[in-house]
Amino acid sequence: MSERTRELSPRYEPGAVEPHWAKAWVDRGYFHATSPSEREPYCIVIPPPNVTGRLHVGHALGRTLEDTLIRRARMQGKETLWLPGMDHAGIATQVVVERELRKEGIDRRELGREAFIERVWAWKEQYGGEIVDQIKRMGASCDWERQRFTMDEGLSLAVRTAFVRWYEQGFIYRGERLVNWCPTDQTGLSDSEVEHEEVDGELVTFRYPLSDGSGFVEVATTRVETMLGDTGIAVHPNDERYRALVGKTVRHPFDGRDIPIVADAAVDPAFGTGAVKVTPAHDQTDFDIAQRTRLPLLNIFDAGARINANVAEEFYGLGRYDAREAVREELHKLELLVREERPFRHAVGHCYRCHSEIEPWVSGLQWFVKVEGLKETAKQAALDGRVRFTPERWTRSYVTWLDNLRDWNISRQLWWGHRIPAWYCPDGHVTVAIEDPAACSTCAGAELEQDPDVLDTWFSSQLWPFSTLGWPDDTHDLRTFYPNTVLVTGYEILYLWVARMIMSGLSLVGDVPFRDVVIHGLVRDAHGRKMSKSLGNVIDPIEMIDRYGADALRFSLARAATGGQQDIPLSEDSIEGARNFANKIWNAARLVLGAFEDDRVELPPAERRTLAERWLLSRHQACVAEVDAALDAYLFADAAQVIFRFLWSEFCDWGLEIEKGRLDGGPQERSDAAALLAWVLERTLRLLHPIMPFVTEEIWQRFGQGASISVAAWPEHHAEHVDVDAEGVIEAVQEVVTAVRRFRARHQVAPGRRFPARVELARDLAQSVEPLAGRIERLAGLEGLTFVDAPSGKLAGETTVAVTVGVVYLPPGLFDVEAERARLTKERAALDADLVRVRGKLGNDGFVAKAPPEVVAGEREKASRMAQRLAEIDAQLAELG
Ligand SMILES: [Zn+2]
Ligand SMILES: [Zn+2]
């Protein structure tokens, strides 16, 4: 390889390098997986982003962690598949297209179902999938030839097959149940799509007159309007106060219905009056009571949560909040209102999309997945370790969630999505089939109407780990890559998605969908705040890539992704810092490549290695071992930090500095030093490649070791390079140099000013360090370094600096001791007074309670900074003697 192609440009330009490699890798087919394969399979499926989506930092984090795992596995020689794709995202997409239509003055209902769906597909072709290009810009090593969409043909077959199989096995049924109804979006939602939030509401107590006129029963409610739909009063069977009343009736004050008083063990006798009103059509608990006690359902709302015609005329057409006022007013007039408590804080379910209050509502017949029989096996898989959660504590949340899981409503009153594969004949028979049926399966009648609803988006995404591999067909891909190796995801979709994939995978394919689930936290700003438009602290990953490069974004995300922690702090500063890291590596590589003249990257023989070189190899081996251990445990931040420390500090700041002498030496010395540095750097590039793919590839090319680092071998371990003695000696050198540098900085001694020093070390250490005296002198700017092996004490006027391995003595006259002492003493006094003031503030409960938390945190930080500086001053004063 000629010298010319080895040369690196003076500056690293990610904007020029990244697009080139992103395309070249894909064009050369490096990311394409093969099945069947002799190699060990390694598979990750991308959590499919919404087709309407744009890349946000959460996506960027997930893709960075996945790519890190995938690229490493590929370099380890595994048959590696990272399968990309997108989700059709039922409601989200329908809303976007409806908005487009409204701009043209068109309502989707005028357009009709078929035309509307055509519009959605057209929209998808034109605008959808922007996020795929954004993921490509990150350098994601996906097998783009296998890209899937939840509504493509194969996945649609998987959805229908899953539905029919579960229907035949009794896991899918059609029933009239209460659903979580969003009156704004006018669709049912699953329990996981409902967000429970505390609101300031009211608690109203009122009384029902007994039909026989013998008295009253008091009940309390936060939703007094629902009394219009009461069909019973329930009390606990053992409640003495009401025992005589069970079986009697109360009279509804507005429509005169007689409502039975029933006994049910679900009633808590200690709550309120011990008697509860029962509104089976608008409350899940009441619905359950009504099922047991055979109370009828009385639906009082239409789909928009307005009072319907089932109740007294005076309330008809009122919205639910107006109805609340009106009913309360009427009860008051009838002297039935007993008490009003306001505000009354209680939890209310809200729609995860539009934030309207959820209405428990009977919306006609809907389809459900029965979870009894599915959830037990899914729970067992986590308990016996077939699925492992990282961090492990999520296992418990997962199990608890499954324990409380109720049947899953999968009908959605939308047009965009997988239409439910169920058909009804005029006689009410239901035909469920994979292919559109020609006739009713019961009466053979040809007149069939398909269910108008579509399936919950999560119904198709729960099949993602196997539908994308060709299921229900028995494909090579499925046999090779199922179960997937790892799933990487944020904790916010652990239940919505992860748990359901485990249930469906076990039930439909017969095995867990993945072995490991890695759960990461939310990306927040540097102060731990959620990123939001209103706070103005949103970091746009594409903007960051434009500014600093994808490598910088990836490295800063990986470095922040500490294990077990929920939140991941990210700032533009940290991304800029990662860009500087890329530049540092680039500059180091220029230096090494400038001296490296061999064609092969090979270590010089052991007998020609210097002590410093043995140290560098030993530290490098430690780095490889630590990175492997960290990535095996999914500790991404640790892996990033270990490489950062090694490259920045050990390789650049010490290794290169120490080796500079040899690089300027004779031909053999120069060639040996360059070869060793090249060997270490080349391997470290491979180690860093999974996190920073671009800059590592661009530099690695110059070593002439193969076509691409992305398919190079992962660095092997060299246990024989571990050298404890060399590490001890170089650590001593580092300590002495650092101590002198710190002394210079502290006393403002000019960097060019050279002076002698004496170093006192234990005898055998001194013997090993002495040959490096010249290096120490150069690194610390000394002139005349003497070693003393016995405690010699301080000579007149000397300043002593303690290091852990001994003492460094520095000569008098480098600075004005008296002026320095006076300056430090003054600074100390001022600082001390300030610290007392800040601590007083923090000791004041009023301040701590009333000031905004970030102000309090700021003061705490200030106090700790001051205390630190005080300790420093004290150490400096002690040094002055
Ligand atoms: Zn909604
Ligand atoms: Zn029929």
Q: Compare 143 and 292 and report the one with higher pLDDT.
A: 143
Q: Give the side-chain half-sphere CA count within 13 A for 759.
A: 30
Report CA(361)–ligand 1 centroid distance (Å). 14
Distance 193 CA to ligand 1 centre (A): 10
| Angle, CA of 154, 465 and 562, to the nearest 5° | 145
Quick check: 658 and 612 in contact, CB under 8 A?
Answer: yes
State the distance from the centre of ligand 2 to the C-alpha of 161, rounded, in angstroms.
Answer: 22
Q: How far is the CA of 662 from the centre of ligand 1 (A)?
A: 70
**CA angle (36, 38, 40) in 5-degree steps:** 100
d(CA 287, CA 298): 11
Q: Is the dihedral of CA 617, 622, 628, 630 positive or negative?
A: negative
pLDDT tens-digit profile of 402-454? 988 888 989 988 888 999 999 999 998 999 999 999 999 999 999 999 999 99
Separation between Cα atoms, residue 420 and residue 411, nearest integer Å: 8
Of 756, 807, 803, 805, nearest in space to 782 by CA: 756
Q: Summarize pLDDT for 636-683 with one digit per residue, the tens.
A: 999 999 999 999 999 999 999 888 889 988 999 999 999 999 999 999
Query: Which of the pair, 827 or 879, is modelled with greater confidence?
Result: 827
Residues 6+ apart with CB under 8 A from 659: 612, 613, 673, 676, 677
The reported pLDDT for the residue numbered 146 is 95
The 10s digit of each residue's pLDDT in 591-642 is 999 999 888 899 999 999 999 999 999 999 999 999 999 999 999 999 999 9
β-sheet bridge partners, residue 489: 519
Provide, rounded to the nearest whole percent, the portion of the chain with pLDDT above 70. Answer: 99
pLDDT per residue over 34-93, tens digit each? 999 999 999 999 999 888 888 999 999 999 999 999 999 999 999 999 999 998 888 888
β-strands 275-278, 232-235 pairing: antiparallel
> What's residue 377's pLDDT?
96
Q: Is 70 exceeded by the pLDDT of residue 4?
A: no
What residues pair up with 490 in beta bridges, in sequence order? 520
Cβ proximity of 696 and 582 under 8 Å: no
Q: What is the DSSP string of 241-263?
A: GGGGGTT-EEE-TTT--EEEEEE
Task: Kindly give the distance from the C-alpha atom of residue 181 to the centroid of ligand 1, in angstroms, as a whole number.
Answer: 8
How far out from the chain centre does Cα 863 lie?
33
Report the C-alpha gap between 338 and 217 in whole angstroms.
Answer: 11
Residue burial 375-393, b: 16+ Cβ < 10 Å; e: rest = beebbebbeeeebbbbbee
Ligand nearest to the CA of 430: 2
pLDDT (mean) for 259-269: 92
Spell out the long-range contacts of 627-633 with Cβ–Cβ below 8 A and sequence spacing 24 or more.
627/687, 628/717, 631/68, 631/69, 631/72, 631/690, 633/390, 633/563
Q: Which two tokens stand for residue 516?
A: 């490991």
Q: Does the pLDDT of residue 751 top 50, yes or no?
A: yes
User: What is the CA(441)–ligand 2 centre distance, in A?
Assistant: 7
Q: Which long-range contacts (CB under 8 A, 24 or more apart) does 36-39 make?
A: 36/476, 36/479, 36/480, 37/79, 37/480, 39/77, 39/78, 39/79
CA 93, CA 126: separation in Å to the nearest integer?
13
Reduced to 3 states (helix: H, G, I; strand: E, B; else coil), residue 86 is strand
**Amino acid sitting at position 861:** E
- Cα of 154 from ligand 2 centre, angstroms: 30
Report the separation in Å between the CA atom of 186 and the middle of ligand 1, taken as the mean of its atom positions: 7
> Which ligand sits nearest to residue 425's alpha carbon?
2
| C-alpha of residue 427 to centroid of ligand 2, in Å | 5
Ligand 1 centroid – CA 412 distance (Å)? 12
Residue identified by tokens 């099922």 is 291
| 679/703 Cα distance (integer angstroms) | 9
- Which of 525, 564, 554, 561 minimizes the C-alpha distance to 637? 561
CA of 182 to the centre of ligand 1 (A): 5
Pair of tokens at residue 127: 């605008």
SS3 636: helix
Please report which confidence band the pLDDT of residue 3 belongs to, taking 50, 70 and 90 as the band edges.
Answer: very low
In the structure, what pLDDT confidence band is assigned to residue 5 with cuts at 50, 70 and 90?
Answer: low
Q: 């994979």: which residue's tokens?
A: 434
Between 158 and 293, residue with greater pLDDT: 158
- Which-ligand-closest: CA of 91? 1
Q: Give the model's pLDDT for residue 551.
A: 97
Give me ligand 1 centre to Cα 91, in Å. Answer: 9
- The rounded Å distance from CA 423 to ligand 2 centre is 9
Q: What are phi and psi of 656, to 5 degrees?
A: -60, -40
Smallest-distance ligand from the CA of 437: 2
How large is the average pLDDT for residues 510-533? 91
- H helical segments located in 104-239: 108-111, 113-127, 130-137, 153-168
Q: How far is the CA of 54 from the centre of ligand 1 (A)?
A: 21
**How far does residue 88's CA lie from ligand 2's centre (Å)?**
33
* Ligand 1 centroid to residue 88 C-alpha, Å: 18
Ligand nearest to the CA of 304: 1
Whole-number Å distance, alpha carbon 195 to ligand 1 midpoint, is: 11
| pLDDT given at position 571 | 93
- pLDDT of the residue at 324: 95
- The whole-angstrom separation of Cα 421 and Cα 429 is 14
More confident residue, 190 or 726: 726
* Other C-beta atoms lying within 10 Å of the C-beta of residue 5: 9
**pLDDT for res 1:** 39
Residues 6 or more apart in contact with residue 698 via CB below 8 angstroms: 8, 12, 17, 21
Expressed in angstroms and rounded, the spacing between residue 194 Cα and the centre of ligand 1 is 9
Question: What pLDDT score was predicted for residue 717?
Answer: 96
Tell how far the Cα of 89 is from the centroid of ligand 1, in angstroms: 15
Q: Which ligand is nearest to the CA of 446?
A: 2
- Separation of CA 438 and ligand 2 centre (Å): 11
Rg of the chain (C-alpha set): 36
Residue 424 burial by Cβ neighbours in a 10 Å radius (0-12, 13-18, 19+): middle
Interval 88-133: pLDDT, tens: 888 888 888 888 888 888 888 888 889 888 888 888 888 888 899 9
- Residue 128: the pLDDT is 80
Answer for the pair 557, 570: CB distance below 8 angstroms, yes or no.
Answer: yes
With b meaning 16 or more CB within 10 Å and e meaning fewer, what string describes 455-479?
bbbbbbbbbbbbbbbbbbeebebbe
Cβ < 5 A residues, ion ligand 1: 182, 184-185, 351, 353-354, 356
**Distances 598 to 160, 429, 698 between C-alpha atoms, Å:** 61, 80, 19
Task: Count the alpha carbons within 13 Å of 55 in the hemisphere toward its beta carbon.
Answer: 24
Spell out the long-range contacts of 716-721 with Cβ–Cβ below 8 A and sequence spacing 24 or more.
Answer: 717/621, 717/624, 717/625, 717/628, 718/617, 718/621, 718/624, 719/621, 721/614, 721/617, 721/618, 721/620, 721/621
Ligand nearest to the CA of 193: 1
Q: Contact at 8 Å (CB) between 211 and 253?
A: no
C-alpha 592 to ligand 1 mean position (Å) = 60
Q: Which ligand is nearest to the CA of 427?
A: 2
Closest by CA to 636, choosing from 45, 78, 61, 81, is: 61
Q: Give the least confident one: 251-265, 341-355, 467-481, 741-755.
A: 741-755
Reading the block at residue 599, the tokens are 């064609």
Distances, alpha carbon 184 to alpha carbons 179, 187, 303, 358, 708, in Å? 14, 8, 9, 9, 54
**Distance (Å) from CA 358 to ligand 1 centroid:** 8
Give 436 Cα–ligand 2 centroid separation in angstroms.
15
**Spatial distance between the Cα atoms of 366 and 284, rounded to a whole number of angstroms:** 16
| Ligand that lies nearest to the alpha carbon of residue 354, given by its number in the listed order | 1
Ligand nearest to the CA of 414: 1
- Partnered with residue 388 across adjacent β-strands are 516
The rounded Å distance from CA 431 to ligand 2 centre is 8
* Widest Cα–Cα separation across the chain: 115
Rounded to the nearest whole angstrom, what is the distance from the C-alpha of residue 419 to the centroid of ligand 2? 20
d(CA 534, CA 354): 18
Write the single-letter amino acid at 37. Answer: S
Distance 425 CA to ligand 2 centre (A): 5
Q: Which ligand is nearest to the CA of 359?
A: 1
Q: How far apart are CA 361 and CA 281, in angstroms?
A: 6
> Which of these, 244, 280, 44, lies nearest to 140 by C-alpha position?
44
CB 583 within 8 A of CB 561: no
Q: What is the Å distance from ligand 1's center to 352 Cα?
A: 7
Cα-to-centroid distance, 621 and ligand 1 (Å):
56
* Ligand 1 centroid to residue 810 C-alpha, Å: 73
Among 757, 753, 734, 756, CA closest to 745: 753
Q: Residue 192 — very low, low, confident or very high, per pLDDT cuts 50/70/90?
A: confident
In sequence order, the β-bridge partners of residue 368 are 173, 409
Query: Which ligand has an atom closest to residue 412 CA?
Result: 1
CA of 761 relative to ligand 1 center, distance in Å: 73
Closest ligand to the CA of 431? 2
Which residues have CB under 8 Å from 734's CB, separation 6+?
654
Residue 497 is given by DSSP the state I
Which contiguous run of DSSP H or E holds residue 296?
none
| 428 Cα–ligand 2 center, Å | 6
For the CA of 186, the nearest ligand: 1
State the DSSP code for 607.
G
Only one residue has tokens 């390789």, namely: 651
Compute the distance between CA of residue 417 and CA of residue 609 in angstroms, rounded to an integer.
Answer: 67
The residue with greater pLDDT, 388 or 535, is 388
For residue 444, the CA-to-ligand 2 centroid distance in Å is 6
Count other C-beta atoms under 10 Å from residue 640's C-beta: 29
Percentage of the chain surpassing pLDDT 90?
Answer: 65
Look at residue 386 in the predicted model and tell me its pLDDT. 97
**Average confidence (pLDDT) over 282-308:** 90
Distance from residue 281's CA to the centre of ligand 2 (Å): 30
**With contact defined as beta carbons under 8 Å apart, do 642 and 627 qualify?**
yes
Which ligand neighbours the alpha carbon of 443 most closely? 2
Mean of per-residue pLDDT scores for the chain:
91
Residue 697 has pLDDT above 70, yes or no: yes
Q: Which two tokens stand for residue 291?
A: 């099922």
Q: Which tens digit of pLDDT belongs to each residue from 707-740?
A: 999 999 999 999 999 999 999 999 999 999 999 9
Nearest-angstrom CA–CA distance, 278 and 839:
57
Q: Which ligand is nearest to the CA of 444?
A: 2
